[in-house]
Structure 1
Amino acid sequence: MDFRELLDTILCRLVQNTLRQRKDAMLNRETLPDLDLMRRVQEGEMVSYNTLVNRYKDRLFNVLYRMLSSEDEANDLLQETFLRVWQHKMSYDFRFAFSTWIYTIALNLARNELRRRKKIKFLDIFDFADKLAAKEEKKDTSTNLKTLLESEMKRLPEKYKTAFLLRDVDNLSYEEIAQVLGVPLGTVKSRVNRARAILRTRLKPRLEESYELSKGTVLPINIL
């Protein structure tokens, strides 16, 4: 092996080792808690930042999309959310969960957009809509059912809608929602229960028809 071949071999191994180290670093970061990742982000580590982005991007997008009824706007605000996380990383307070902080950023951006629009739209959040539609005899039932669900969601007061969405769609704990919304824990539980009760009352006749239930049948709680 001549000197040139030796240099090429060394360079190749260096590149392979670098790529392997990056891959190992990413794998290690994926198992770290949010707070540990944020400490590294504050030190300027992009690998940890990207790990947090990958960990939260889908969950945040789902919330933003259902609040804004627009995929493009949801993506725009998602990018803005993560940009603000990076820009304000040094202001993060480790006394609070990272999930609370990032959801607060995202929801504030969404609220600002909704105020600008002067209207609120929520898309279908019920995964069982298509399953129910399959049991219907009419071909347009799926559309009718989804329209009904969307309509009833829109009619909910915003404070009930937001609490319901964070709890039953995105599975945040009551404690996390209380911190995100800045209201007492009991208020969060009350709002979620109120939203469920309103939707259950409004949707029960239509769901009973779909399932061919008797008027006295109690709907399973997991339906709403």
Structure 2
Amino acid sequence: MNISKKSGKIFWGIFFLLAAVYVIVSQLGILPKVSVFTVIFTVFCIWLLVNGIRNISFWQILFSIAIVCILYAEPLGITALTPWPVLGAAALGSIGLSMIFPKKKKRIWKHANINVGGSSTGEYNGERVECENSFGESIKYINSENFCYANLDNSFGSLTVYFDNAMIPSGKATVNVDNSFGEVSLYVPKIWKVQVRMDHSFGSVEEKGRCEGSSDISLDIIGDTDFGTVNVYYI
């Protein structure tokens, strides 16, 4: 099962568990005054932490911890370390750990690209493509003569992918999108038959323009977006 499909359930599970604890404990007067906003944001951070551990994303792990430290700086007595020192430490730690323990490229993909905290542009002409973007901006052009599948993973960044020069001899292709706290823009030919079947939690999936679907080529866009936006542009 795709890990991204579990993200929404994990988030809501944590949310309701902490909400239940908060309702009971807040009436006992044993917790410092914590606003509902802080509780909700804490749930976001825990979800990010769990998701980061599952995907071995040091950026998500350290920044979620840093944000929790900022939220509870006064009760923890670490106000001198927030906000910029702890955020700076999280950024430097994420860069260092990402360099020491880089993600291994999956062998099933013929063309893969990983962008962390920067800007990149690239072209791909393989049957299968994987692209990961975190805390950065990335633009990709799919110029394949036999495109079949793409896996796009974006978190805290902007990822734009153009499919207008892609050819699909088999007549069918699939694009899987996993988007968290970011924006993904897909540009596809309007003559293709496009089906968008994405899940979203506190996010949106929008189609821009009109899909004519006059050709025999079909494209399935699947996956999910959490606290982010996925835009499909028909060109």
TM-score range, shorter chain: 0.3 to 0.5
Bigger Cα Rg:
1
Query: What TM-score results when the alignment is normalised by the length of structure 2?
Result: 0.32
Structure showing the higher strand proportion among its residues: 2
Query: What TM-score results when the alignment is normalised by the length of structure 1?
Result: 0.33
Q: Which has the higher contact order (CA 8 A, sep 6+)?
A: 1
